[in-house]
């Protein structure tokens, strides 16, 4: 290039740079502003309202916080912590070992195995709990076999702390599985190769190199599992109540059953304890993650730990464990749906489809509920993924302080029990909105708002982790090319973290699809959801119909998964978590 042309080109570049900076700032501020407004409106406001209820004296003059100083609350709190830690440990063991097996070894049929590992997400937790109760009923083959080994039990072995921890552990294992699986995919292979050159065989490689590198992901998944456990209501309701084991969520429900003007304040106070516990867990997790070194991933890695001769034995063991843990509850579900009434044994003569025909034709809300749940869950998945992306982008990559604060706020609505969040949403959104003058209460919108508030953290966590790991130079190069913030987000960041976006959205979809406790207070005629429908049918004694709806839910979810798999060929590898 001659000197004249060079200087002209650089002048153009400078102008473009200045222009880009101005529009970049506006675009950034607009995008970040919208995201911040959404988080404040949907997540912070309800929490503040709860705080208000908890702290200010009630209409009868009582101080809600004083109600916390009772032995019952203390005991329930300890029970919550104990069962949640135990459940998290079980989830870590199960979800973690499966993630390691699938991600690091040469075990076969990885796609199908992954699908099985994720199946607890498909089934509502009360169904799983019920199925386990049935499976270990006195007289059942499994129970008899176990009793031969360990001696007879009086009462039901799952009633109480052990059963609650076990079933919650199973239910939340996919959260740890997903977190670890994503991290394993992005392990830097040169660190592993260096260890192998130094002479490390598989066991040492796993223990001294791979596991320490995976610690942050394990903690992230573990924190999520822990928070899910302390806010879990379905399992302690079914297994804890008969076992005289009360946790904070069932205690809250007890309070709510008491009615009276002071109840709201007391409930809010209890709900905030849960939020506090969750918050402590999440803060600790953040602290650990901040000190962990950021790893730059270096491309896909082949199986690092070939199983060799033990492979068939391990495969059989894994399949057996998965079949026992996932297929058995599904089979119990289907069995309950195919009998005309509870207690009628299932055989060729008694099997009937009348429950299915009832829910599909006679019972009108069913089709509406399917449609509503699908649309609401899909909308929630898309919005939380987008919102999470923006929050994570400005928080982790651009390191804007206030966005990181908002990120922390997003955790709270997930930590409080669903019914408490629903109450908070009602308090905030019952009255018509200030400028628009329309109330969202009684519409599908309040359900969507509640879902977004509750599940934002599920989409945000993996995205924040992925963006922390992204090479900042990718974005810097785009900056120099003149791209403004929002444009960089769309053209550079999104393609890089595609897999985390999809897996976060999927998690939100599956969790929202079966959601019960939040929807129970917020649904209205025409806006029924599946989780509420199953719950209502069950509490009315129509267990067969409830099982039929739950079975159909599983079928629909699997169909959607199959469709997504068909489309996966157009997407890059790793977008769908069960397609390695």
Partner 1 sequence: MKSMFAAVAALALSAGMAQAASGTLTVYTSTPDQAMNDLIAAFNKAEPDVKVEFFRSGTTEVVNKLQAEFTAGAPQPDVLFIADATVMEQLKADDRLMPYADAPVAGLPETFYDSDKTYFGTKIIPTGIIYNTKSGKPRPTSWGDLTSPNAKDQVIMPSPLYSGAAVIHVGTITAQPEMGWNYYQLLADNGAVATKGNGGVLEAVASGQKAYGMIVDFMAFNGKAKGSPVEFVYPLDGVSMVTEPVAILKTAKNVEAAKSFVNWLLSDAGQHYMTVQGYIPGKAGIAGPEGRPAAADLKLMPASTKDIAGESNEIKKHFADLFGG
Partner 2 sequence: MDAVTIKSVSKHFSGKPAVANVDLEVAAGEFVALLGPSGCGKTTLLRLLAGFEKLDTGTISIGAREIARAGRSAVPPEERGVGMVFQSHALWPHMTVGENVEYALKIRKVSPAERQRQVDRALSTVGLAERKDAAPETLSGGQRQRVALARCLAMEPSVVLMDEPLASLDVHLRESMQAEFHRLHRQLGATIVYVTHDQSEAMALADRVAVLDHGRLQQVAPPRALYAEPATAMVADFVGRGMVVSLDAAVAGRAGSVEGRLWGEPIHLRSARSGTASMRACLRPEGLALGQSGIAAKVERAVFEGAATILHCRVDRAPDVLLRVLDRAAPPAEGSAVRISVNDGWLLPAASVISAAA
Site for partner 1, rule CB under 8 A: 53, 72, 130, 133-134, 137-139, 154-156, 159, 237-238, 241-246, 250, 253-254, 256-261, 263-264, 340-344, 363-365, 419, 423, 426-427, 430-431, 439, 441-442, 520-521, 523-525, 532, 536, 538-544
The footprint of partner 2 on this chain (CB under 8 A) covers a number of residues equal to 22
Nearer to partner 1, 263 or 289 (CB): 263
Q: How far is CA 488 from CA 26, 174, 391, 479, 524, in A?
A: 14, 32, 14, 7, 41
Least separation in angstroms between residue 226's CB and partner 1 is: 24
Decide: is 195 part of the binding site for partner 2 (CB under 8 A): yes
The HSE-up count of residue 24 (CA atoms within 13 Å, CB side) is 18
Decide: is 559 part of the binding site for partner 2 (CB under 8 A): no
Least separation in angstroms between residue 489's CB and partner 1 is: 37
Tokens matching residue 512: 């929202």
Least separation in angstroms between residue 244's CB and partner 1 is: 2
Four-point Cα dihedral 510, 514, 520, 522, nearest 10:
40
| Residue recorded with tokens 């913030």 | 485
* Window 275 to 314, contacts with partner 2 (CB under 8 A): 293, 295, 298
Q: Could you tell me if 497 and 509 are in contact, meaning their C-beta atoms sit under 8 angstroms apart?
A: no
Nearer to partner 1, 15 or 138 (CB): 138
Per CB under 8 A, which region of 42-50, 190-198, 339-347, 389-397 contacts partner 2? Answer: 190-198
Nearer to partner 1, 241 or 321 (CB): 241
Nearer to partner 2, 291 or 570 (CB): 291
Q: Which helix (H) or strand (E) holds 446?
A: helix 444-469
Contact residue for partner 2 among 209, 230, 270, 274 (CB under 8 A): 209
482 vs 13: CA distance, rounded Å? 9
Q: How far is CA 265 from CA 259, 262, 275, 420, 534, in A?
A: 11, 6, 15, 11, 30
Decide: is 137 part of the binding site for partner 2 (CB under 8 A): no
- Residue 138: DSSP 8-state: T
Q: If contact means CB under 5 to 8 A according to the sort of partner, which of partner 1, partner 2, none does residue 260 touch? A: partner 1
Decide: is 56 part of the binding site for partner 2 (CB under 8 A): no
Residue of 358, 391, 367, 416 whose CA lies nearest to 540: 358
Decide: is 13 part of the binding site for partner 2 (CB under 8 A): no
Q: Which residues contact 203 (CB under 8 A, 6 or more apart)?
A: none
Least separation in angstroms between residue 551's CB and partner 1 is: 16
Per CB under 8 A, which region of 53-61, 204-212, 462-470, 572-580 contacts partner 2? Answer: 204-212
Decide: is 4 part of the binding site for partner 2 (CB under 8 A): no
Nearer to partner 1, 129 or 180 (CB): 129
Q: Which residues contact 453 (CB under 8 A, 6 or more apart)?
A: 42, 43, 46, 413, 421, 425
Q: If contact means CB under 5 to 8 A according to the sort of partner, which of partner 1, partner 2, none does residue 197 touch? A: partner 2
45 vs 424: CA distance, rounded Å? 9
Write the DSSP assignment of 163-187 as a string of letters.
Answer: HHHHHHHHHHHHHHHHHHHHHHHT-
Tokens matching residue 523: 């649904």
Least separation in angstroms between residue 301's CB and partner 2 is: 10
Least separation in angstroms between residue 133's CB and partner 1 is: 7
Decide: is 573 part of the binding site for partner 2 (CB under 8 A): no
Least separation in angstroms between residue 334's CB and partner 1 is: 15
Query: Would you give the distance in Å from CA 552 to the centre of its chain?
Result: 21
Residue 105, strand partner residues = 305
138 vs 216: CA distance, rounded Å? 42
Phi-psi region at 139: left, alpha or beta (left = phi > 0; alpha = psi -120 to 50): left
Residue length of the chain: 580
Contact residue for partner 2 among 204, 399, 431, 573 (CB under 8 A): 204
Contact residue for partner 2 among 42, 100, 118, 213 (CB under 8 A): 213
Q: If contact means CB under 5 to 8 A according to the sort of partner, which of partner 2, partner 1, none does residue 298 touch? A: partner 2
Nearer to partner 2, 188 or 242 (CB): 188
Enumerate binding residues for partner 2 (CB under 8 A): 188, 190-191, 193-201, 204-205, 208-209, 212-213, 215, 293, 295, 298
């Amino acid at each position: 290039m001659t000197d004249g042309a060079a200087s002209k080109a650089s002048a153009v570049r400078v102008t473009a740079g200045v222009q880009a900076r101005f529009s970049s700032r506006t675009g950034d501020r607009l995008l970040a502003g919208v995201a911040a407004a959404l988080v404040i409106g949907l997540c912070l406001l309800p929490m503040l309202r709860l705080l208000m209820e908890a702290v200010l004296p009630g209409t009868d003059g009582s101080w809600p916080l004083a109600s916390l100083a009772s032995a019952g609350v203390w005991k329930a709190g300890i029970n919550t912590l104990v069962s949640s830690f135990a459940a998290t440990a079980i989830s870590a063991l199960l979800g973690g070992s499966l993630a390691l097996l699938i991600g690091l070894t040469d075990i076969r049929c990885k796609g199908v195995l992954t699908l099985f590992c994720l199946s607890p997400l498909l089934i509502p937790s009360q169904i799983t709990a019920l199925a386990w109760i049935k499976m270990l009923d006195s007289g059942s083959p499994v129970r008899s076999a176990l009793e031969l080994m360990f001696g007879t039990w009086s009462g039901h072995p799952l009633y109480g702390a052990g059963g609650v921890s076990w079933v919650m552990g199973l239910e939340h294992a996919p959260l740890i599985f997903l977190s670890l699986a994503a991290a394993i995919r992005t392990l830097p292979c040169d660190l592993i190769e260096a260890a192998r050159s130094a002479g490390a065989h598989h066991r040492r490689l796993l223990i001294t190199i791979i596991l320490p590198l995976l610690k942050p992901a394990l903690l992230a998944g573990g924190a999520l599992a822990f928070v899910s456990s302390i806010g879990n209501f379905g399992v302690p309701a079914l297994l804890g109540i008969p076992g005289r084991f009360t946790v904070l969520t069932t205690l809250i429900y007890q309070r709510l059953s008491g009615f009276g003007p002071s109840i709201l304040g007391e409930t809010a106070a209890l709900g905030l304890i849960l939020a506090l516990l969750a918050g402590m867990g999440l803060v600790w997790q953040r602290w650990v993650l901040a000190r962990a070194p950021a790893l730059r991933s270096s491309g896909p890695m082949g199986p690092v730990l070939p199983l060799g001769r033990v492979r068939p034995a391990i495969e059989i063991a894994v399949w057996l464990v998965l079949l026992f843990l996932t297929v058995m509850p599904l089979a119990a579900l289907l069995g309950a749906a195919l009998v005309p009434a509870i207690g009628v044994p299932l055989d060729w003569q008694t099997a009937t489809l009348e429950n299915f025909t009832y829910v599909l034709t006679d019972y009108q809300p069913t089709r509406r509920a399917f449609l509503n749940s699908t649309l609401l869950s899909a909308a929630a998945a898309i919005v939380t993924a987008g919102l999470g992306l923006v929050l994570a982008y400005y928080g982790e990559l651009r390191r804007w302080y206030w966005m990181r604060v908002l990120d922390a706020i997003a955790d709270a609505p997930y930590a409080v029990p669903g019914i408490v969040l629903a109450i908070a949403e009602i308090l905030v959104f019952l009255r018509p909105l200030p400028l628009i003058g329309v109330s969202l209460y009684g519409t599908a919108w309040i359900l969507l708002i509640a879902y977004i508030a509750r599940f934002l953290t599920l989409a945000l966590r993996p995205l924040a982790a992925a963006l922390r790991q992204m090479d900042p130079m990718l974005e810097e190069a785009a900056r120099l090319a003149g791209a403004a913030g929002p444009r960089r987000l769309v053209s550079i960041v999104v393609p890089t973290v595609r897999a985390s976006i999809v897996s976060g959205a999927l998690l939100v979809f599956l969790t929202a699809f079966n959601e019960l406790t939040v929807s129970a207070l917020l649904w209205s005629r025409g806006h029924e959801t599946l989780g509420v429908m199953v719950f209502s049918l069950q509490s009315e004694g129509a267990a067969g119909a409830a099982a039929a709806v739950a079975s159909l839910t599983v079928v629909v979810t699997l169909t959607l998964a199959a469709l997504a798999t068909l489309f996966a060929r157009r997407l890059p590898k790793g977008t769908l978590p069960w397609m390695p």
